[in-house]
Amino acid sequence: MAWDFQTEPEFQEQLDWMEEFVRSEIWPLETLMHELEWDALMRAMEPLQEQVRERGLWAAHLDPELGGQGFGQVKLGLMHEILGTSPIAPFAFGNAAPDSGNSEILALAGTPEQKDRYLHPLLAGDLKSAFSMTEPENAGSDPTTMSTTAVKDGDSWVINGHKWFSSNASIADFLIVMAVTDPDAHKYQRASMFVVDTDTPGVDIVRDVPTMEHPQENFGRYGNHAEIVYRDVRVPADALLGAQGAGFLIAQQRLYPGRIHHCMRWLGVSKRAFDMLCERALSREVQGKPLAEKQTVQNWIADSAAGMQAARLMTLHAAWVMDTQGVRAARKPISLIKFYGAEVLCDVVDRALQIHGSLGYSTDMPLEAMYRYARGARFYDGPDEVHRESVARHILRGYEPREVPSEHLPTRRAEARERFAHLLEAVTSND
């Protein structure tokens, strides 16, 4: 029997250290996020990053030969649950999105030259990156419809297209761009990835798109989502990342573990909101009694605890499948947690906000920001509907259509009568 819900003691010690470190060193800094210039915030992070390196927890998503820890998804998941409690904690640990995912792509598909030029400086924090796939004119949920092209011209590729929601592009040094290189190939083999320096002529970062999370334009700050026009952007042949036509294959390798990390980070956010919910339930009185005595509030607490526990076990299970059986086997469990985890996050944050009344709605509490952040979880890395569809498709593969339902009682009874005729006869003859 190999069911085990325990974390090995040495790693639990690391998790305990992380939890205390994030709470005491990073949560306070988080309150100054909007007062400090980005560079100043990053300078404040430097001594913290040093401590993380000393603990052997830096860039843990990568293999040891790249300066990471090669932890695997279960341990990474447990780490991300703690880092998720603060939007800036991942910077202290060298695994902030989208640089972490982009470093995984470079590690997976980059040539030795690309690793030297982009991956190592990215890991050292000397470069920033963005991933540029979604287009305003085409459904991001079905990226096979993308229309950005890269056409071979002598020793170069020439890229033309229009992207948006390229997170962090306005502070990035380079972009990983998905473009159609083989229009006549199978739909999953039409696109390729390119590494494009942001200052290449023809790369026009039009604006940062203000969002629910960042309603004010955020140009040049972390967390922006840029709109970009690629106009005759000429890059050398060695800008191709991985094999020609392998864009979707590489994207999948990046997105699957990324979804596990998102889901565990969401649990960190949910837990923080849940703590606020419980604290307020005990502290605020209505009609002479604490809110905690109202059944609705008790239901919120119980439902939130159940949802978080279910999402946590489902996510760790998906991580375990990924570690033990690989990406292919993990596809269904990962789709399952992507929409379920996003739903739990939105519900828990909403209840925590609701119990705080006008205080929750105000910017005196972090809940309104969590609420705006949470809503995006239902879109990025695939909207809920796409993941539900994918789960249903996987599940239905295990079934076959039947004219008569296999549980149809009259049919089953007739079969049983035939099979057990001797028993029925014996019963009748005993009568």
Ligand X SMILES: Cc1cc2nc3c(=O)[nH]c(=O)nc-3n(C[C@H](O)[C@H](O)[C@H](O)COP(=O)(O)OP(=O)(O)OC[C@H]3O[C@@H](n4cnc5c(N)ncnc54)[C@H](O)[C@@H]3O)c2cc1C
**Beta carbon of residue 59, minimum distance to ligand X (angstroms, whole number):** 19
For 169, the token pair is 């592009």
Asked if 232 interacts with ligand X (CB under 6 A), we say: no
Q: What is the DSSP letter of 403?
A: S
Asked if 141 interacts with ligand X (CB under 6 A), we say: yes
List, as one string, the DSSP characters of 317-337. Answer: HHHHHHHHH-HHHHHHHHHHH
Asked if 137 interacts with ligand X (CB under 6 A), we say: no
Round to whole Å and give the CA distance between 179 and 149.
5
Binding-site residue total for ligand X (CB under 6 A)?
A: 20
- Name the one range near ligand X by CB under 6 A: 34-42, 270-278, 382-390, 411-419: 382-390
Per the CB < 8 A criterion, the answer to whether 281 and 355 are in contact is yes
Among residues 80, 225, 259, 338, which is the contact residue for ligand X, using CB under 6 A?
225
Q: Which helix (H) or strand (E) holds 83?
A: helix 73-83
Round to whole Å and give the CA distance between 350 and 266.
13
- Name the one range near ligand X by CB under 6 A: 55-63, 254-262, 338-346, 374-382: 374-382
Q: Which residues are CB-contacts of 307 (< 8 A; sequence separation ≥ 6)?
A: 270, 343, 344, 347, 348
Among residues 165, 194, 256, 300, which is the contact residue for ligand X, using CB under 6 A?
165
Cα–Cα separations (whole angstroms), residue 257 to 88, 105, 201, 331, 396: 20, 12, 34, 10, 24
Asked if 198 interacts with ligand X (CB under 6 A), we say: no
Lookup result for tokens 């696109």:
191
Round to whole Å and give the CA distance between 282 and 296.
14
**Beta carbon of residue 225, minimum distance to ligand X (angstroms, whole number):** 6
Lookup result for tokens 């470093």:
103
Site for ligand X in 98-117 (CB under 6 A): 98
**Beta carbon of residue 232, minimum distance to ligand X (angstroms, whole number):** 21
Per the CB < 8 A criterion, the answer to whether 214 and 223 are in contact is yes
Round to whole Å and give the CA distance between 294 and 297.
5
Give the 3-state secondary structure of residue 300: helix
**Beta carbon of residue 274, minimum distance to ligand X (angstroms, whole number):** 23
Asked if 383 interacts with ligand X (CB under 6 A), we say: yes
**Beta carbon of residue 142, minimum distance to ligand X (angstroms, whole number):** 6
Among residues 78, 88, 260, 386, which is the contact residue for ligand X, using CB under 6 A?
386
For 213, the token pair is 């999370």
Determine the residue with CB nearest ligand X: 140
Burial 149-162 (b: 16+ CB within 10 A, else e): bbeeeeeebbbbbb
Asked if 133 interacts with ligand X (CB under 6 A), we say: yes
Per the CB < 8 A criterion, the answer to whether 193 and 177 are in contact is yes
Asked if 262 interacts with ligand X (CB under 6 A), we say: no
For ligand X, the closer CB: 72 or 383 = 383
Asked if 335 interacts with ligand X (CB under 6 A), we say: no
Of 360, 139, 387, 407, residue with least CA distance to 263? 387
Among residues 86, 102, 132, 192, which is the contact residue for ligand X, using CB under 6 A?
132
Among residues 139, 243, 282, 414, which is the contact residue for ligand X, using CB under 6 A?
139
**Beta carbon of residue 160, minimum distance to ligand X (angstroms, whole number):** 17
For ligand X, the closer CB: 15 or 97 = 97
For ligand X, the closer CB: 116 or 137 = 137
The dihedral formed by the CA atoms of 60, 61, 66 and 68, expressed in degrees to the nearest 10: 10
Across-strand partners of 152? Answer: 157
Asked if 166 interacts with ligand X (CB under 6 A), we say: yes
**Beta carbon of residue 323, minimum distance to ligand X (angstroms, whole number):** 25
> How many whole angstroms from its chain centre is CA 249?
18
- Name the one range near ligand X by CB under 6 A: 2-10, 81-89, 381-389, 396-404: 381-389
Asked if 389 interacts with ligand X (CB under 6 A), we say: yes
Asked if 252 interacts with ligand X (CB under 6 A), we say: no
For ligand X, the closer CB: 138 or 156 = 138
Asked if 343 interacts with ligand X (CB under 6 A), we say: no
- Name the one range near ligand X by CB under 6 A: 36-44, 48-56, 127-135, 183-191: 127-135
- Name the one range near ligand X by CB under 6 A: 20-28, 353-361, 384-392, 420-428: 384-392
Lookup result for tokens 């170069």:
156
- Footprint of ligand X (CB under 6 A): 98, 131-134, 139-141, 165-167, 225, 376, 379-380, 382-383, 385-386, 389
